[in-house]
Amino acid sequence: MCRLLETICFIDGAPPLLPYHQARFDAARRHFWGALPPLLLKEVLVVPPDFRQSKVKCRLTYSAADFVVEWEHYTPRRIGSLQIVSGDHLDYAFKYADRSALHELWLQRGAADDILMVKNGLITDTSYSNVALFDGTRYFTPAQPLLAGVRRAALLDAGLLAPADIRPADLPDFQHIALINGMLDLGECMVGLGDGFLHDYSPNI
């Protein structure tokens, strides 16, 4: 049975990206299960008292028949380097609860902290985030990510990102990569493009 996932950021008890999560949640339910009764996330996500301060991660897993909500205080990962890997076989257009395919690629990271996936010759995502690349003037994000994330959508709507096709060979044109997802805003997790950024970098991947 297919189970899907939403990872929702709450800050001091409020979810700033909830409309984007609701839109993705609705689209996924329609795609997999057709005409289900509507379900409003704002009505089912009741923040427990112990999680109403600071940044909190809400993990919602769901199917057509049920949903499970889990809460935890957020601790960001420390990412300083990435390993380019091929994700040509990967289909992650929806946020699946089963991340085994992503985990198999993550195991190829070697000495790096995370992976930077390439599909059909284009940069896509890390194992847990979309990316935005800064060229010294503005941020660009891959036009064809594996998963179109909610933070990415909000930043595009705000005009803070521009979509572009980015190849591994283009990486020297950028100063750093920002990792963005529901929990990470632009500028909260950045990886410089200096020495040591990419392990075993191959411009032909």
Question: What average pLDDT does this structure show over 175-193?
Answer: 94
Token output for 189:
């997790």
Collapsed DSSP state (helix, strand, coil) of residue 31? helix
* Structural domain count of the chain: 2
Domain final residue pick, 73, 93, 115: 73
pLDDT for the residue 201: 45
pLDDT in tens, 5-17: 999 999 999 999 9
pLDDT in tens, 119-156: 999 999 999 999 999 999 999 999 999 999 999 999 99
Q: Please indicate, yes or no, whether residues 167 and 120 belong to a single structural domain of this protein.
A: yes
Q: Please indicate, yes or no, whether residues 90 and 69 belong to a single structural domain of this protein.
A: no
Q: What distance in Å separates the CA atoms of residue 166 and residue 176, rounded to the nearest whole number? A: 14
> What rounded mean pLDDT belongs to the chain?
93
**Which domain covers residue 26, as residue numbers?**
4-73
pTM: 0.93
Domain final residue pick, 73, 108, 131: 73
Q: Please indicate, yes or no, whether residues 120 and 182 belong to a single structural domain of this protein.
A: yes
Is pLDDT of 26 > 80? yes
Question: What average pLDDT does this structure show over 45-64?
Answer: 97
Question: What average pLDDT does this structure show over 63-89?
Answer: 93
Domain final residue pick, 53, 73, 93: 73
Q: Please indicate, yes or no, whether residues 119 and 183 belong to a single structural domain of this protein.
A: yes
Strands 130-134 and 139-142: antiparallel
Question: What average pLDDT does this structure show over 42-49?
Answer: 96
Is pLDDT of 203 > 90? no
Q: Please indicate, yes or no, whether residues 40 and 140 belong to a single structural domain of this protein.
A: no
Question: What average pLDDT does this structure show over 155-159?
Answer: 98
CATH number at residue 49: 3.30.470.10
Q: Please indicate, yes or no, whether residues 183 and 100 belong to a single structural domain of this protein.
A: yes
| Structural element, H or E, at residue 106 | helix 100-106
List the helix and strand counts (H, then E) for the chain.
4, 11
| Structural element, H or E, at residue 139 | strand 139-142
Buried b (16+ CB within 10 A) or exposed e, 47-80: beeebeeebbbbebbbeeeebebeeeebeeeebe
